[in-house]
Structure 1
Amino acid sequence: MGLFTFIKDAGAKIFGIGKTSAEKKAEATAAANAKEANEDRQAEQHLREVVSDLGLEVENLNISIKDDMATVTGKAANQATREKIVLVVGNSAGIASVQDNMEVEVQEPEATFHTVEKGDTLSKIAKNVYGDAMKYPVIFEANKPMLKHPDKIYPGQVLRIPNLD
């Protein structure tokens, strides 16, 4: 006789043994998706704990992560708390964007956000925004409790810049 060739992936469908390439690929994809979903759930839980540990008041906080986007829902005590929660989530590794679907109990003017660049200091940012470098404590206070010290900012970090009104 001799060597006969067959379509390898057809056999599993008939006899129920082995797995086709498509089945293997589907299983690998499903396993990767399950692992990613589990990691997302862990990250979501960790972020909720961080928000709680920072003492940010929000009712029914929910954070969901899909790929590199987080969606945040709940009812924040005020606009400042809402913005701080967005910053806590957004300044986390792996998060590229935050969809803010939160409500607030007390409406206030929205702050602007500033992305820290290399060489930035709170004084330099205050000088650019307010025209007075000595107003850096306003920015520092607006970003507590995420900031522990006015000199501890880093490039890429996003900060709240409150209105002085």
Structure 2
Amino acid sequence: MSLFDFVKSAGEKLLDLNPAKQASDLLVEHVRKFRLGGDDLKVERDGGKVTVSGRAKTQEEREKIVLALGNVAGVEQVQDVIFIDPSNTGPAPTPPSPLDAPAPAALQTAPAAQFYTVQKGDTLSAISKQFYGNANLYNRIFEANRPMLTHPDKIYPGQALRIPPKAD
């Protein structure tokens, strides 16, 4: 369970478009349009804080769900209560408490990616140079953020991006 901060004023203006529809329903639809999350995905909104629960197949999918929600204007925090279940079947188990024993090796996840907030003047090449020491690895960041990113040149200040660990 983690809490992530985002720029409240940046992102897709989703919540203002359909005031008759529940914000939680709009946010679930937003995540689903990227084909992310299991059938039990649940989103609750309390002001600028969003809590998301359910299942994801991988750590990467889990991070993309958090980013999809955090890159919506009006969302300033995302509480992640997503369980990683590679089979993605059956009801989602209750997340373990911090006092529980570590997960069995079969359920442990890949290393988590870092999140980076785009600044004015940033490019994926510049971000790649900062994190990997090589501007030519920008496509690694682009691919790590698909389908939310549709083109490497279409990023904006305040947008949060996944920066996967540097490959050896």
Q: Provide TM-score, normalisation by structure 2.
A: 0.72
Q: Hey, which bits of structure 1, 4+ residues long, moved more than 4 A?
A: none
Q: Who is 1:100 aligned against?
A: 80
Residues 40 and 102 from structure 1, CA distance in 2 versus in 1: closer, same or farther, beyond 3 angstroms?
farther
Q: Who is 1:115 aligned against?
A: 117
* SS of residue in 2 equivalent to 1:58: coil
Tell me how far apart the structure 1 counterparts of residues 84 and 149 of structure 2 sit (CA, whole Å): 23
Q: Highest Rg: 1 or 2?
A: 1
RMSD: 1.7
Amino acid paired to 2:63 = E
Q: Who is 2:158 aligned against?
A: 156
8 Å CA contact 2:118, 2:160 repeated in 1: yes
Q: Deviations over 1:54-89 (max 9, x none)?
A: 111424100000011000000101001100000011
Q: Who is 2:139 aligned against?
A: 137
Residues 40 and 62 from structure 1, CA distance in 2 versus in 1: closer, same or farther, beyond 3 angstroms?
farther
Tell me how far apart the structure 2 counterparts of residues 52 and 44 of structure 1 sit (CA, whole Å): 12
8 Å CA contact 1:112, 1:161 repeated in 2: yes
Q: Who is 1:75 aligned against?
A: 55
Q: Does 1:43 align with 2:45?
A: no
Q: Provide TM-score, normalisation by structure 1.
A: 0.73
Residues 138 and 40 from structure 1, CA distance in 2 versus in 1: closer, same or farther, beyond 3 angstroms?
farther
Tell me how far apart the structure 2 counterparts of residues 70 and 40 of structure 1 sit (CA, whole Å): 19
Amino acid paired to 2:112 = E
* SS of residue in 1 equivalent to 2:139: helix
Tell me how far apart the structure 1 counterparts of residues 83 and 70 of structure 2 sit (CA, whole Å): 18
Query: C-alpha displacement at 1:148, in angstroms?
Result: 0.4
Residue-pair matches, total: 128
- Give structure 1 stretches of 5+ with no counterpart: 1-38
- Give structure 2 stretches of 5+ with no counterpart: 1-18, 87-108
